[in-house]
Amino acid sequence: MRLNNKTALITGGSNGIGKATAILFAKEGAKVVITDINEPAGHEVVGQIKAAGGEASYFHADVSKAADCEAMVAFAEKKYGGLHIVFNNAGIMHNDDGDAVSTEEGIFDLTYAINVKGVFFGCKYGIPALRRAGGGSIINTASFVAHLGAATPQLAYTASKGAVLSMTRELAVIHARENIRVNALSPGPLRTELLMKFLDTEAKKQRRLVHVPMGRFGEAEEMAKAALYLASDESSYTTGTEFLVDGGITAAYVTPE
């Protein structure tokens, strides 16, 4: 198994990419700590993993709070004796996130608190744990929108994912000699609850899909497989990179609407 004898902490692990990744990581031998603010859904994922013979635990944490992030890392180390993989995946895409004129300051601040500070806190407290374990892998969820202007405006989200990419690169350089790898996973448009709640009409969905060469939304399980590569020793010479798994959207010319 590709993650045997490793412990993985996954934020936002109760649904979408986080849920799919938690299930896959456990299947590949990892002991998984799922953190989220959705406690019932988090426990449900833990139950699925245990029913399949895997090992997992839930820890309630709001990644926008430093104390919660410090506590979730401490829990993982105490529960499983070490921490080797941190997947900073929790994020929001608020329905009221629009262009610069329409987006309220509170929506912008909330988006940054979770999408950017959440990654910062995950690294702030996760990196010392990885040091104690002799090294490991950090995966930060970014997005294809850090490269492209969105057809449906979502300025705070887009800006936050650009920040995640910048942090990822710098952290990778700083910690490369410590056997700590830091990479970003940038999904394209996915058929997840997060995006489907934002693209809440068929017209909005088609407006996004017209730009995707594959002509479909990606699936959370496809992102989990990409995260597995970055978490495993197979990517031992990979750091400071962005893994774009986007159906070709960032490679395509913009299609007229």
**Under 8 Å CB-to-CB from 253, ≥6 apart: which residues?**
none
For helices 66-80 and 117-132, the axis angle rounded to 10 degrees is 30
* Structure tokens given for 44: 């449900």
Angle between helices 155-175 and 117-132 (to 10 degrees): 20
H-helix or E-strand spanning residue 36: strand 31-36
CA distance from start to end of the chain: 46
Residue entry with tokens 């950090």: 138
Q: Which amino acid appears at position 186 of this protein?
A: S
Among 67, 104, 77, 84, residue whose Cα is nearest residue 29: 84
d(CA 206, CA 232): 36
73 with 129: CB under 8 angstroms? yes
Do the beta carbons of residue 155 and residue 98 sit within 8 Å?
yes
For residue 83, the 8-state DSSP code is: -
157 is catalytic: yes
CA distance 115 to 158: 10
Catalytic residue among 58, 112, 157, 229: 157
Q: Specify the residue for token string 């895997």.
A: 54
The residues carrying an active-site annotation are 157
